[in-house]
Each structure stands twice: as structure tokens, then as C-alpha cells.
Amino acid sequence: MEARVAAMLEGLAGEQVWLLEHPPLYTGGTSAKADDLLDTPFPVYETGRGGQYTYHGPGQRVGYVMLDLKRRAAPAQPDLRSYVQQLEAWIIATLAEFGIRGELREGRIGVWVVEPSGKESKIAALGIRVKQWVTYHGIALNVSPDLSHYAGIVPCGIKEHGVTSLHALGVNVSMAEVDAALQRQFAHIFG
């Protein structure tokens, strides 16, 4: 990803979005707190992205988004806040295709859902980095991961709320169906 961003900055590569799954692992962003790493049954990687600790693994769709915000904003100035809002809108629109209402919460990063019990749970995380207005890292949407794997961390530093997935909410879709929705909604949100 960093090589791709370097090539973009040199004008040797264009924008790209990678949709992938990782093996089970934890990543720590630039705001990660050591106390939020509770157990380490999986490898832990420190990253340059924003945010705290999160889990990545099978059943989770990770989207690495490499866009040139300067080119996209021209002639106006690039706007990082607007970019984050677009990422959130992308996830929310994708969830809506499956009948799930994704929501934002003041003071909490990511996309949230209200479960039938009334409990709020995080269904998607965001963590980005920007170099000379070229973005990288991105989103993680829980489709059908083993949610018990989050027990090794305090996800995104938030202790009072849990995490969920499309499957945990009763939406049993395939990763291919989620990818197709992500692609459709990306074109709608980002052009």
C-alpha cells in the first residue's frame, strides 16, 4: 500500500481501492493505548493510520482506499473532514442495501447500529492516513468475523459498547454480495 501511494505521488500510478481479508491480527493506530491491548492470541502490528486498536480477520471486509484528494478537490482545497464523511456515507449506504441502518455517534469514530435489544454496537471501523493529500488505509466492515476475537483488545478504545456484524444481525450475505454493494456505493459516493 505504501509503495502504491509513493507511485501515486510520483505520477506513476492511479487511484485504487483494495478489498481484502486479513488473517486474524490486531493493528494499532497512532492513538493506540497499551492498556487497550488485553491479550495477544494473534500478531499485533503498529500502523501509521489514525485510531486505536482494532481486529482484522476472516469474515471482515477491509477496504484500503488510495485516492488523490488534491486532484479530486481541484480547483477547491482538499478537505479531510469531507473525505472521512464520504467513507462513513459509503459504509452506511452499503449497509442500507442489506436493510441495516448504519448510524454515526458524536465522539465515536466508525459506523454503529442499534441492535434489537437496544444496545449500540460498532459494525465498521475507519482508520486513515494521508500523505501529501493521497489517502491510504481505510475501512473495516464486519460481515461474518468471529466476534470473540475482539476480546483481546478494547476496540477503538471504547469499553462501553460492543461490536457486531451483518451475520450477527441476521443478514447472511456472502462476501461477494458485500463487495458488489461496496463497489456500487463507492461509485455513487465518490464518483
Kindly give, in sequence order, each residue whose CB lies less than 8 Å from that of residue 57, ignoring residues fewer than 6 positions away: 21, 22, 23, 24, 25, 42, 145, 146, 149
**Count of CB atoms within 10 A of residue 43's CB?**
11
Q: Does 71 participate in catalysis according to the annotation? A: no
Residue with the three cell numbers 465518490:
190
Helix (H, G, I), strand (E, B) or coil at 15: coil
User: Which of these is catalytic: 92, 111, 156, 181?
Assistant: 156
Q: Is 31:48 a contact under the CB 8 Å cutoff?
A: no
Residue 42 cell numbers, joined: 494473534
The residues that are catalytic are 156
